[in-house]
């Protein structure tokens, strides 16, 4: 029942390379069909073309180079930025019967030499390397003798300074084209704006590449934003409502991550911290315990998660406001990689935005400040908006989404429009009177005037003498900031781009003031419900899946199969998903296969896994059938 070891890898290399793509897909990965764009990408990779592929997290990027690696002779070299994940990725390939290995600093010198000898003998189909290692001249000399068939550059957005995860060592990958001019290259990423995409193509030197970009939409994810009130108790209820599932809680600081992990653990939720300040050994062990389902939650800074190979993350919580939408999308994308329903919760307060403005003001470069402020405004707009959150996320990446998504809080529970005529007229009048003094100001300065705050700038420019000074003391600063941003979203005001986003009235705003017209704005966000949505599902397929589980007893069967999977994984010292992903276990719980033929028909059950684990799962399913 053991998965193939690296010592057995040579026995697999002799397998014929004449399988058709669908046959190879079923044999090694257990699937009958491709996900969107996968088949076309695989075809171009097999044809030896350079390829750029932008597929969302969970969209099956890795299969685009793993399948060609078992269909053609030669070595596929995979550039991966996080060495902590290489072992898990290789374990998954070995469990599927695919000879793969990695070389990194975690290995003893003797083990490195043993693997190098295997590479010299063409015993492996895939080799995982970090970009830093590839930059070493002797490594490139070794690659020249290992029959490299293709390079796969994972997390390719790291090469661009405009990406949210820029890594200088990725720039050295451009030298691969010079060293191996005839070896095709596949660049893959889950998130990239147009500017980052162009950087990837240019800096990697891709030649006449086929470019693929799938939809950024993740229909299995439900997005919610709740105000930061009684925040920890809301988080605790949210996590408890999802027992025994696991998830990630992102915090803005190392201290915050550690405090949240300690609080959750004290309240009966096994949790560990993860941040760059931890001892590397502790950080690695904490990540491994989370990946292997030994703890339910990892409380982390943004240092955690890029390239994480754990498909059954069922929730992602942002305890603090992210810095930009691109990072937020990437982090929420770590939920539900297996295609099953998952929840994304963001806690928001204007105070978080104010803290970030302080850090932004400390940046030395005017261009950096302007960029950071623009990104912060986009993030705040997402958090405060009353419209579909999915539409806003996709629009950021240049993708249109029509209609209601049925899987975000604003579509599931639309906020009512309320009469904010008096507050709107006060705000617009204040902007007009300030501009009559000769120049415009930003949102925060207008709110200072409305609240009657005699700040140095308010006094310097004599805005404390305006008739609108102090007329807004009946509302909180947070509410005035929200009203101002709603007036911008509604088209009554516009914000000029730049480090200071000067406010000015639009034609629509001037008309409203002149005619004293009624202004209806979305109601302020309500306090978070206990559990922040708990088990209220969004996507239609989510509700259907849960109704099916409730009517057939699948949920209980799934939990028993998951316990069996955990025992097998622990015996083999691999993450549970290496044995079978959750989606495969749910299909087993639904179909209750009686023999090997029926089990092989389950998506995710390939030949090697059928041989290694089939008997144990069939026996457990048989026992459950007899006891029911």
DSSP 57-73: TTS-TTHHHHHHHHHSS
Return d(Cα 61, Cα 54) in angstroms, integer: 8
Instruction: Give the β-pairing of 503-505 and 210-213.
Output: unpaired
Return d(Cα 566, Cα 165) in angstroms, integer: 33
DSSP, collapsed to helix, strand or coil, labels residue 152 as strand
Averaged pLDDT of the chain: 87
Q: How many angstroms separate the first and last alpha carbons of the chain? A: 27
Q: Considering all CA atoms of the chain, what is the largest pairwise distance in Å, rounded to the nearest integer?
A: 86
Of the ranges 84-98, 224-238, 341-355, 531-545, which one carries the lowest mean pLDDT score?
Answer: 531-545
Return d(Cα 365, Cα 562) in angstroms, integer: 52
Q: Are 152 and 76 in contact (CB under 8 A)?
A: yes
Structure confidence at residue 229 as a pLDDT band (50, 70, 90)? confident
Q: Are 610 and 1 in contact (CB under 8 A)?
A: no
Give the whole-number percent of the chain exceeding pLDDT 70: 90
Give the whole-number percent of the chain exceeding pLDDT 90: 60
Q: Tokens at residue 61, please? A: 């990027």
Higher-scoring residue by pLDDT: 168, 124: 124
Return d(Cα 512, Cα 290) in angstroms, integer: 55
- Looking at residue 59, its pLDDT comes to 77
Q: Tokens at residue 602, please? A: 């389950």
Structure confidence at residue 128 as a pLDDT band (50, 70, 90)? very high
Structure confidence at residue 18 as a pLDDT band (50, 70, 90)? low
- Looking at residue 320, its pLDDT comes to 95
When pLDDT is averaged across residues 488-499 and rounded to a whole number, the result is 81
- Looking at residue 484, its pLDDT comes to 93
Of the ranges 292-296, 360-364, 537-541, which one carries the lowest mean pLDDT score?
Answer: 537-541
Q: How many CB atoms neighbour CB 445 within 10 A?
A: 21
pLDDT digits (tens, 9 = 90+) for 147-167: 999 999 998 888 887 666 677
Domains 6-213 and 221-412 share a fold: yes
Q: Judge whether residue 546 has pLDDT over 60.
A: no
Residue 551 burial (10 A CB sphere; 0-12, 13-18, 19+): exposed
- Looking at residue 420, its pLDDT comes to 94
pLDDT digits (tens, 9 = 90+) for 442-478: 899 999 999 999 999 999 999 999 999 999 999 999 8
Of the ranges 7-11, 96-100, 368-372, 601-605, which one carries the lowest mean pLDDT score?
Answer: 7-11
Would you list the DSSP string of 274-287? Answer: E-TTS-HHHHHHHH
**221-412: what fold?**
Rossmann fold (3.40.50)
- The CATH number for 417-522, chosen from 1.10.10.10, 1.10.3720.10, 3.30.450.20, 1.10.340.30, is 1.10.10.10
pLDDT digits (tens, 9 = 90+) for 274-291: 998 899 889 888 988 998
DSSP bridge partners of 126: 76, 100
- Looking at residue 528, its pLDDT comes to 52
When pLDDT is averaged across residues 367-382 and rounded to a whole number, the result is 88
Q: Judge whether residue 407 has pLDDT over 80.
A: yes
Residue 206 burial (10 A CB sphere; 0-12, 13-18, 19+): buried
- Looking at residue 536, its pLDDT comes to 41
- Looking at residue 135, its pLDDT comes to 82
User: Which of 141, 124, 140, 144 lies closest to 132, judged by CA?
Assistant: 140
Return d(Cα 120, Cα 444) in angstroms, integer: 64
Q: What is the pTM of this model?
A: 0.81
- Looking at residue 526, its pLDDT comes to 62
Q: Judge whether residue 535 has pLDDT over 60.
A: no
When pLDDT is averaged across residues 544-552 and rounded to a whole number, the result is 43
Domain-by-domain residue ranges, the chain? 6-213, 221-412, 417-522, 553-627
pLDDT digits (tens, 9 = 90+) for 309-364: 788 999 999 999 999 998 899 899 999 988 899 999 999 988 888 888 888 888 87
Q: Are 380 and 485 in contact (CB under 8 A)?
A: yes
Return d(Cα 483, Cα 520) in angstroms, integer: 11
- Looking at residue 15, its pLDDT comes to 43
Check residue 158 and report its DSSP letter.
Answer: G
Structure confidence at residue 2 as a pLDDT band (50, 70, 90)? very low
- Looking at residue 8, its pLDDT comes to 39
* Domain 553-627 CATH superfamily: HRDC domain (1.10.150.80)
For the chain, helix, strand, coil in percent to 5 are 50, 10, 40
Of the ranges 227-231, 246-250, 268-272, 603-607, which one carries the lowest mean pLDDT score?
Answer: 227-231
Q: Are 625 and 592 in contact (CB under 8 A)?
A: yes
- Looking at residue 13, its pLDDT comes to 39
- Looking at residue 64, its pLDDT comes to 96
DSSP bridge partners of 79: 129, 153
When pLDDT is averaged across residues 402-413 and rounded to a whole number, the result is 89
Q: Which of 72-86, 119-133, 548-562 has the highest mean pLDDT?
A: 119-133
- The CATH number that domain 6-213 falls under is 3.40.50.300
DSSP, collapsed to helix, strand or coil, labels residue 532 as coil
Structure confidence at residue 80 as a pLDDT band (50, 70, 90)? confident
CA distances from 620 to 549, 557, 627 (A): 19, 10, 11
């Amino acid at each position: 029942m053991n998965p193939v070891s690296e010592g057995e890898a040579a026995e697999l290399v002799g397998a014929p390379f004449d399988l058709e793509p669908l046959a190879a897909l079923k044999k090694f990965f257990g699937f009958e069909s491709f996900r969107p764009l996968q088949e076309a990408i695989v075809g171009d990779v097999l044809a030896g073309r350079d390829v750029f592929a932008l597929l969302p997290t969970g969209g099956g990027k890795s299969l685009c180079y793993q399948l060609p690696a078992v269909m053609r002779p030669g070595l596929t070299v995979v550039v991966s930025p996080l060495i902590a994940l290489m072992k898990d990725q290789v374990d998954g390939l070995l469990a599927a019967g695919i000879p793969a290995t990695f070389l990194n600093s975690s290995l003893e010198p003797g083990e490195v030499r043993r693997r190098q000898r295997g590479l010299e003998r063409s015993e492996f189909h895939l080799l995982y390397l970090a970009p830093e290692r590839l930059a070493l001249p002797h490594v490139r000399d070794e690659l020249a003798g290992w029959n490299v068939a293709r390079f796969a550059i994972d997390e390719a957005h790291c090469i661009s300074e405009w990406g949210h995860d820029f890594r200088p060592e990725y720039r050295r990958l451009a030298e691969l084209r010079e060293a191996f001019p005839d070896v095709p290259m596949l660049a893959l990423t889950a998130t990239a704006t147009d500017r980052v995409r162009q950087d990837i193509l240019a800096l990697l030197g891709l030649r006449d590449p086929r470019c693929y970009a799938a939809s950024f939409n993740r229909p299995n994810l439900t997005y919610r934003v709740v105000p930061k009130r009684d925040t920890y108790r809301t988080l605790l209820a949210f996590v408890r409502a999802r027992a025994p599932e696991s998830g990630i809680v992102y915090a803005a600081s190392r201290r915050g991550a550690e405090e949240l992990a300690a609080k959750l653990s004290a309240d009966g939720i096994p949790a560990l911290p993860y941040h760059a300040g931890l001892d590397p050994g502790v950080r690695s062990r904490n990540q491994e315990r989370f990946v292997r389902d030994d703890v339910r939650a990892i409380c982390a800074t943004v240092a955690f998660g890029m390239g994480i190979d754990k498909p059954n993350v069922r929730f992602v919580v942002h305890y603090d406001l992210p810095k930009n939408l691109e990072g937020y999308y990437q982090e929420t994308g770590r939920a539900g990689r297996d295609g099953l329903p998952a929840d994304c919760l963001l806690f928001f307060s204007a105070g978080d935005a104010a803290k970030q403005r302080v850090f932004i003001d400390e940046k030395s470069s005017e261009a950096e400040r302007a960029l950071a402020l623009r990104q912060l405004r986009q993030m705040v707009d997402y958090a405060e908006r009353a419209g579909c959150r999915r539409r806003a996320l996709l629009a950021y990446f240049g993708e249109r989404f029509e209609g209601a998504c049925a899987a975000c809080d604003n579509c599931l529970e639309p906020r009512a429009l309320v009469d904010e005529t008096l507050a709107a007229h006060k705000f617009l009048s204040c902007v007009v009177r300030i501009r009559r003094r000769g120049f415009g100001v930003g949102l925060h300065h207008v709110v200072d005037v409305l609240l009657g705050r005699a700040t140095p700038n308010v006094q310097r420019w004599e805005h404390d003498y305006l008739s609108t000074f102090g007329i807004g003391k009946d509302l909180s600063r947070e509410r005035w900031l929200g009203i101002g941003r709603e007036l911008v979203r509604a088209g009554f005001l516009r914000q000029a781009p730049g480090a200071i986003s000067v406010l000015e009235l639009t034609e629509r705003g001037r008309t409203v003031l002149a005619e004293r017209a009624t202004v209806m704005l979305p109601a302020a966000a309500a306090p978070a419900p206990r559990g922040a949505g708990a088990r209220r599902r969004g996507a239609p397929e989510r509700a259907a899946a849960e109704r099916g589980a409730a009517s057939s007893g699948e949920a209980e069967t799934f939990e028993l199969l998951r316990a069996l999977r955990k025992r097998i994984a622990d015996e083999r010292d691999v993450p549970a998903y290496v044995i079978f992903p959750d989606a495969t276990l749910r299909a087993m719980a639904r179909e209750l296969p009686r023999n090997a033929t029926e089990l092989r028909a389950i998506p995710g059950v390939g030949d090697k896994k059928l041989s290694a684990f089939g008997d144990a799962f069939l026996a457990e399913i048989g026992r459950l059938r007899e006891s029911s």
